[in-house]
Structure 1
Amino acid sequence: MMKLIIAYIQPDKLNAVKQELYKEEIYKISVTNALGCGHQGGYTETYRNVLNEVNLLKKVRIEIAVTEPYVEKTVNAIIRAAKTNQIGDGKIFIIPIEDTIRIRTEERGEVAIG
């Protein structure tokens, strides 16, 4: 069984998360800058004496495709590195992958995840 792990974390935790993943021999990740809000809801700031409410906060989205033996190792590595016990630490989603295809070789399934 293959899984896609999607994690939203604080931007300043990206390097720590990568280091924890490397310790678990998980090297293949995709990283995207994202904007979003959750429980913390945002904050207000003043610019030129105008009060602005900022609802969307900067986050980093990490996507990692893994086979079943790597799911818990991946999740635990992300939690170890990203957790501060504060609102806004992020979320992790685990989604089943129906199929994977490596374009170069046309391999399919778990072998294509590598």
Structure 2
Amino acid sequence: MNVHFLAASQICQFFSECGAVLHGEYMSHDGKPLCLRDYNERHGVKCYECHKFIAGKVLQAGGYKFHPTCARCSRCGLHFGDGEEMYMQGDEIWHPSCEHSRTTENIAVNFSTYRFHIRLV
């Protein structure tokens, strides 16, 4: 993510669509200024858990991306950290040590279980 600061006002690359005049802080992609809304819509990363755009650090497990505060074990409730291992089945993620302690009553048995290592990007 490229955050820049302006000395003077500038318009968003997609000004004709959004009408945003940029002041102070703005986003950049390929050297072109974008307002936050346009940057997120075109290049933003959404959290797998909360479905909101991620600004800042991202926890990644396989192709899934999370806010660091959204990546929680569905069985013990603790956060996942950089380098930790996790299992995922459907929408449920858990620590390997929580494998046999299910807090969710209705877990579908037809989902495949995937094993990932979390990394902070």
- Asked if TM exceeds 0.5, the reply is no
Larger relative contact order (CA 8 Å, sep ≥ 6): 1
Q: Which has the higher strand share?
A: 1
Q: TM-score range by the shorter chain?
A: under 0.3
Q: Which has the higher helix share?
A: 1
TM-score by length of 2: 0.22
TM-score by length of 1: 0.23
